[in-house]
Structures are given as structure tokens and as C-alpha cells.
Amino acid sequence: MNMQNEMHPKSICCVAHSPQLEVLRLSAAGLVSESNDNILTYEDSPWLGVHPKGTSFGASQATLPAAGSFKKLLTIFVLLTLPVMITSVFALADQNNVLDNANHHRQAALEEYQETVDRINLDRDRLKAELSHHDSALIQIKAKNSKLQSELDARMAKASDLQKSETGVKEDASDLAAIIRIMQKDMTAAIETSSLYPVYRDEFSDLNRKRNPIEVPGINEITSLTDMAFRLIKLESAPLVKEGTFVGRDGAGAKGSILTLGRFFNAYVTGNEAGFLWPSESTGQMVAYSSLPDRSTGAALKAFASGTAEVVSLDLSGGAATARFAKKSGLTDKIREGGPLVWPILAIGLAALLIIMERSLAIIKSYTDSDKTMIKIENLSGKDHWDRAAEILKAEKPLQRVLLCALKNRDEDKESLETLVHESIIREVRYFERFLPTLNVLGAIAPLLGLLGTVTGMISTFQSITIYGTGDPRMMAGGISEALITTMLGLTVAIPIMFFHNFLSRRGFNIIDDIEEKAVTLVNIIHKEKSESKDKVE
């Protein structure tokens, strides 16, 4: 069968390795036909052909298999393409299923969207209704708040007025309380500073009651203070003699007759002495002045206290006249107040004084005009008058002794002579250093003893504090005096000792230096004279 079709030259492509596949392709395209020799030829494409064995293409004509073979090939082709066609059919079916599912989901989404829109519309309507209700409630609350604010402003203004009134009342009350406290303080001070208060302390015990400085005194308290003031005036209107206790001059407690003459003065009388007292403001006790009055005043106090005399001297200055007995003591009193350690300090001072005097006399006796002496010796040595030079050096002084030693040993060689002179100088050094180490030790011991007295005095002071408290320093005068006086005496003794020790030491060293200088000069003169004599002999 012959088949002829037109074909675009560019529609045929490639060379197949299988002639059967190539025939199927060309037959499907209508480009081949069957010849008489049962060979398919290309009629419209003379430039392209297939060899029966499929191994080459010709430019004029190609041969193809027979018709039976073509049917077989077509059957094979159909069988080969059938899976592909089936797969395409199933793929198309799957695509349709996917599209159906997509349409189903789209419809469901549209329904859900519509439900959501309906629900949102319902919520919006409900919220609009609630908002309208809340707006109405807000308007009511604002109106109520405005009313309450007006009431608050009115009450604040009223409270401010009340506060101003309260401040005025408090100021008036504070002024009144200050006036009352000042009056109470003045009255209390007048009672406590009275000379009778320490004696009649029990009758004025209410003064010791603790009071709140902010609290305003009540009428009962003011009345009590007034009664005590009148009681004090009554007691001060006459002289009183009462047995009692007081702090003695040594800082210890004492007993005796206490004589009170109003606000003029207080005095005491014991078995062996009579003196004046002063009231301690801190402790409220009567304290004796450290010094006693003269004999006539003491005798008058004893006579008035015993009732044998009706006249006694008064202190109209309010205590200024008797205050002169507070501190009136001489050197003996100071030494006595210093305690037992004063005596070792004084002994050290006396020993140091003796040493200073002895050393001073020794230095004065050892003084000589060394330059003048050396001039005389040089003049005599030049004339070879050594015996006359020895006569000049017979004085018992350090310089003369050293120079005389050099003259006596002038025949020795220079080294031996220098050794002998040096030994003589060493003996003189010991003479000038005599007792100076002892003086140095005494100067160091004196302030240490003063420090020891300070410690013992402070111990006594603390004992007084334990008994009488720390309110009044004058009650601790005994211990303080012992502490300070021993230190003062120790330094008073030590400072001159150290000064004279240094002075005497330096003076002795200067004399020794001068002796060494003159001795070396004399040794050189002797050596020079000996050398000149040898030269003359030669």
C-alpha cells in the first residue's frame, strides 16, 4: 500500500538505533509506504531513509520491513504505550478528585466564614448595648464624684480652720508650760542650792522625782514645791546644829556636828578640827574644804556649835569668802598630798644633787690654762731644761699628770712613749666619768616613780568614784592630787638631772680632748729634741 503525505522537513528528527521504532514513528506520521519488494520507502523524503537492517539512511530511498512486520510493530507499540495511557487516565481521575475536595473545603470555609460574620455582628450589637449602659453609669458616677468633691473641699476647709485653732491653743499651752517649768526650775534650784538642803535632804525628797520635761506640772506638784520653799525659808531663819555625815578633806566620809547659818555658810566641828563646808550640787552632799581656817576662826566655830558663844563671823558674800579655803597649801602640803612615793623621788633628787656638786667641784679643780702651760714647756724643752719643766707639772691636775708621765718616760722610743701617755689618759677618763652613769640612772628612775604615783593616785580616784560617783570632781581631789603631784615632782627632779648629766659629760669630754691634744704635742716635741740631739752627735 502506497501512502503519500506532505511533511515539513523540520518535523523529522534524529537517527534511531532500532529500525522498527523508527518505522512506527514514520508510519504514524504518514511518511512511509510499502513497495513491491515488501519494503517501505520514503516517498516525500528522498534525502532520508532506513536500511532494512536499520543501520543506515540513504539520500535517495530507504527500505522498511514488510506489512506483517509493521502490524506486529504497531501492536508492540500499542502495548508499550498502554501503561502510559492508563497512568494518564488515573492521573486525570486523581486530579478530578483533588478538585472535588478543594471545592468541598471551599464551600465549608464559606459556611464557617458566614457563621463567624453572624456571630461578630451579634457580639457587636451586644457590646454597643453594654457601652451605652456604661456611658450612662459613668455620667452618674461623675455627677456623684463632683458632689463628693464639693463635700471634701468643704470639710478640708473646716479642718484647716480647726488646725489653725489647735495650733493657737498649743502655742498658748506651750508658753504657759514654759513659764511654769521656768518657775519650777528656779524654785528647785533655790532649794537645792540652799546650805540646808544636804542636811534636810529627806524633807525635800520630792525634788528627786523624775519629771517629763514636756509634761506641764500639775497643780498638786506646784503646791508641793511651794510648801517645800516655805519650809526652807523657815529652816533658814535660825542657826541650826545637827549631827550628820560629810566628805572630809581627804575625800573619805566623816561624821561630826554640822553648823548651818541660813544661806551664809556651813561649818563642821569634829573632835580635833573645825572647818567650812560647801554643798555639792551634783551629789547633794556636804564637802569639806581642803584647807582649814586660822585658829581663832576654828575656835569660834567650836564655841558657837557647843553653845558656849553667841557670836560668830558670817560670810555675807554668799560663799565667796569661805571659798578661799578650797585650795590653800604650801610645799609641805603638796608633798603630803602626793602620797608615799614622793619621798623616794625626793631622795633621788638629793642623791643627784650631791653627785652634781661633787662632779662640778672636780671639773673646777681640774681646770688649768693648758695653752700657757704648753708654752712654758716648749720654751724649757728648747733649752734642754726638762727638770724645770717637770717642776711646773707637779700640780695635781689631769693635764699635769699626763704631761709629767710623758716627761718621765722621754727616753723611751716614740711608740712606747705614746702607749704610756695613752694609758695615763685612760686613767683620767675614768676620773671624769665617775658617778655620771649613776646620775643618768637616777634621771631615768625619777619620772618612772612619778608615773607609778600617777597610777596609785588614779586607783584612789576610782575608789572615790565607786563610793560617791562621778558627779563632782572635787570629791576626787585626794586621788587626783596624788596622781599629779608625784608626776610633777618626778619630772621636776628628772629634768635638771638629765641637764647636768649632759653638761658634765660634755665638759669632761672637752677636757680629755684638750689633754690628748697637749700630750701629742709634748710627745712630738720630745721626739724632735731627740732627733736633733742625734744629728748633733753624728
Query: How confident is the model over 236-257, as a mean pLDDT?
Result: 76
Q: Given 65, 82, 103, which residue is the final one in a domain?
A: 65
- Shared domain for 358 and 210, answered yes or no, is no
Phi then psi for residue 200, to 5 deg, are -110, 45
- Shared domain for 231 and 273, answered yes or no, is yes
Query: How confident is the model over 117-140, as a mean pLDDT?
Result: 90
- Shared domain for 311 and 459, answered yes or no, is no
The answer to the question of residue 154 being in a domain is no
The pLDDT of residue 327: 59
The answer to the question of residue 52 being in a domain is yes
Query: Which grid cell is 321?
Result: 569668802
pLDDT tens profile 295-326: 777 788 788 777 777 777 777 666 666 666 66
- Shared domain for 242 and 211, answered yes or no, is yes
The answer to the question of residue 100 being in a domain is no
The answer to the question of residue 489 being in a domain is yes
Residue type, 411: D
- Shared domain for 456 and 323, answered yes or no, is no
Q: Which residues contact 467 (CB under 8 A, 6 or more apart)?
A: 253
Q: Given 22, 41, 65, which residue is the final one in a domain?
A: 65
- Shared domain for 305 and 349, answered yes or no, is no
The pLDDT of residue 445: 93
Q: What is the pLDDT confidence band of residue 141, given thresholds at 50, 70 and 90?
A: very high
- Shared domain for 407 and 430, answered yes or no, is yes
* Dihedral angle sign, alpha carbons of residues 463, 466, 470, 474: negative
Domain that holds residue 527: 342-537
The answer to the question of residue 97 being in a domain is no
pLDDT tens profile 205-234: 666 555 565 666 667 777 777 777 777 777
The pLDDT of residue 13: 36
> What is the rounded CA–CA span in Å between residue 417 and residue 408?
10
The answer to the question of residue 209 being in a domain is yes
**DSSP H or E segment with residue 241:** strand 240-247
The answer to the question of residue 219 being in a domain is yes
What DSSP state is assigned to residue 246?
E
Total count of domains within the chain = 3
The pLDDT of residue 356: 93
Q: Provide DSSP, 344-383.
A: HHHHHHHHHHHHHHHHHHHHHHT---HHHHHHHHHHHHHT
- Shared domain for 291 and 360, answered yes or no, is no
pLDDT tens profile 435-493: 899 999 999 999 999 888 888 888 877 777 777 666 666 666 666 777 788 888 899 99
- Shared domain for 321 and 356, answered yes or no, is no
- Shared domain for 482 and 520, answered yes or no, is yes
- Shared domain for 403 and 475, answered yes or no, is yes
| Helix, coil or strand: residue 37 | coil
Q: Given 282, 306, 328, which residue is the final one in a domain?
A: 328
Q: What is the pLDDT confidence band of residue 355, given thresholds at 50, 70 and 90?
A: very high
pLDDT tens profile 262-274: 766 778 888 778 8
- Shared domain for 250 and 349, answered yes or no, is no
The answer to the question of residue 286 being in a domain is yes
Q: What is the pLDDT confidence band of residue 515, given thresholds at 50, 70 and 90?
A: confident
